[in-house]
Amino acid sequence: MSEDLIMHLSQETLKTAALLSAPLLGAALVTGLLVSILQAVTQINEATLTFIPKMIVIGIVVMLAGPWMLDVISGFTHMLFENLATYVRE
């Protein structure tokens, strides 16, 4: 394996991981921000209050974006297996 191939595979892996985690992290960030604003307005200082809304929103995002996420990861896996012979030769 050449260094260029390792760098290319590393970049593709990181890009796929970021692409898959972005909707979940974005939804959790927005939900946490909204709950924090609500806590600041109502002066409720409970640290565990954000967990349930985040869990619900993450569940909804997984249900909505799940097929897309599965398509992305299976495309990446298909690309790896398709080019496996090329990777071994280099």
The predicted pLDDT at position 18 comes to 96
What is the spatial distance between Cα 3 and Cα 6, in angstroms, rounded to a whole number? 5
- Selection from 3, 7, 12, 4 nearest residue 78 by Cα: 12
The predicted pLDDT at position 44 comes to 84
Which stretches in the chain have pLDDT values below 70? Answer: 90
CB atoms within 10 A of CB 27: 19
Domain boundaries, the chain: 3-84
Note whether 24 and 62 are within 8 A (CB). Answer: yes
The predicted pLDDT at position 90 comes to 67
pTM: 0.79
- Selection from 12, 1, 3 nearest residue 80 by Cα: 12
